Chain A
Amino acid sequence: MLDGAWRVASQVAVRPEPFGALVYHYGTRRLTFLKSRALLDVVTVLDAHACARDACRAAGVAEDEMSRYEQALATLAGSGMIVSRDAA
């Protein structure tokens, strides 16, 4: 997960909120909450980095928090909110 290259899916919109963000997938009509601004920062810069780990570092995620963020990104990938850039 962290070594892969990811981006927000094309049918997905991200709306920042004081607590983090709302993420909505127009295709599946699923809504997900990002429960921190830090995770929003990670998601926002995913596309600009070679891998998710770099995106997390750029967003200021500490090394000992990496696994929690990996889990969150995996959940987002599982629901199609973010997609791999590697396959393309």
Chain B
Amino acid sequence: MSPAAPGTRLVDQLETGLDAPICLTWELTYACNLACVHCLSSSGRRDPRELSTAECMAVIDELERMQVFYVNIGGGEPTVRRDFWELVDYAVAHHVGVKFSTNGSRITPEIAARIAGTGYVDVQVSLDGATASVNDRIRGAGSYTTATRAMENLAAAGFEGFKLSVVVTRENVSQLDAFKALADRYHAQLRLTRLRPSGRGADVWDKLHPTASQQRELYEWLLAHGESVLTGDSFFHLGGYGEALPGLNLCGAGRVVCLIDPIGDVYACPFVIHDSFRAGNVREPGGFARVWRESELFTELREPQHAGACASCGLFDKCRGGCMAAKFFTGLPLAGPDPECVLGHGERALAARDERPVPRPSVDMSRRPPPRACNESPLEIAAPR
């Protein structure tokens, strides 16, 4: 589009890293009132070490200095934080735009009106089925009604162009047209993202990730809908089918994206909450900027990456080896095919894995059912001897 220096592609330049991230995800809390089976951050309970309001504001100050234009706030359910709106207002006042993800449970008509009135706040309502039966199997009973009520409230408040965000699974890939119709009905924009084996997603990935034929179907659908449907650059591994999908089409981990988690840990991307991809913490001296600019991990990720087993593949330039998180949490080598490689190399690699356990996420705040009373009673009554 714009004049470029000869012989340089934007993708190559972005892979060497930027002075500040383009797209920063910030999970404000691990607390959540839902327990979605595929939660990428294994959320449920609040971590008592969560960043305080003042610490969050200090991060926002830093993002303003670094000219990070906007943050994607998520969780957990970020709106359960008591200071959520205070932080949103603070960010907007400091020229950091906010897009936040929500299950919709707190998007009342009053809140919807409030959001519609502020220019710099965008909302993303999560829904994983175009019907209650498909959605609620993933996100829990009643969650479809909650999300659609939130969308009704946003539409009624006159908020146009909020996002309806869907993780594409084996069970909902046949509903793409229905999702689009749903988004259109609420004057929202559809956003489709990839199911990763991250967080609790690792437990359900085998059963829920789209089959090879579904992937092809998804690719055709995305191609037909072009830029009217957002993907967060999720599906660049499908570029191997032929034409590149809209977007940057590269793994942005540590290069253009990263994650700040509720306790201030900085990870290479939202899908790799694991010690191997933890670059530092915003509470350390130098704060977030130092982690972004100087951490060993991010420096390493900005070096040219090895294609490994994919080096001889003619499609490597299109799929670039796929998603690091998808490989890591399925136990595949990072230099090699994505588990959903369009040529089927990933499936073969999965079948050839040895018995070594696959890496588990470093954080798990899932709510556990209380131990059964017959196993572990809090009360012990000594029987008479």
Q: Is the interface of A mostly helix, strand, loop or mixed?
A: mixed
Binding site for A on B (CB under 8 A): 1-5, 8, 10, 13-14, 16, 18-20, 22, 67, 69-70, 95, 97, 99, 119-120, 122
Which A residue sits closest to B122, measured CB to CB? A29
Contact partner, B2, options A26, A31, A39, A65, Cβ 8 Å: A39
Q: Which residues of B contact A68 (CB under 8 A)?
A: 3
Distance in angstroms from A86 CB to nearest chain B CB is 23
Pairwise interchain contact B10-A72, C-beta atoms closer than 8 A: no
Residues 38-51 of chain A, each 1 if its beta carbon lies under 8 Å from chain B, else 0: 11000000000000
Knowing that A26-B70, A36-B3 touch, tell me 18 more A-B residue pairs with CB under 8 angstroms: A15-B19, A15-B67, A19-B8, A19-B10, A26-B69, A27-B119, A29-B99, A29-B122, A33-B1, A34-B2, A35-B1, A35-B3, A35-B5, A35-B10, A38-B3, A68-B3, A69-B3, A75-B1
Q: Which of A1-24 contact B (CB under 8 A)?
A: 13, 15-20, 22, 24
Pairwise interchain contact B97-A35, C-beta atoms closer than 8 A: no
Distance in angstroms from A42 CB to nearest chain B CB is 10
> Among A18, A19, A32, which residue has the most Cβ atoms of chain B within 10 A?
A19
Contact partner, A22, options B5, B8, B22, B99, Cβ 8 Å: B22
Pairwise interchain contact A31-B119, C-beta atoms closer than 8 A: no
Q: Which residues of B contact A65 (CB under 8 A)?
A: 3
Bound: A85/B334 CA distance, A: 51
Contact partner, A15, options B10, B69, B122, Cβ 8 Å: B69
Contacts A17-B18, A19-B13, A29-B97 given; does A36 touch B5 at CB 8 Å? yes
Which A residue sits closest to B256, measured CB to CB? A22
Bound: A27/B122 CA distance, A: 10
Q: Which residues of B contact A31 (CB under 8 A)?
A: 22, 69
Bound: A32/B10 CA distance, A: 12
Bound: A68/B1 CA distance, A: 10
Bound: A15/B99 CA distance, A: 20
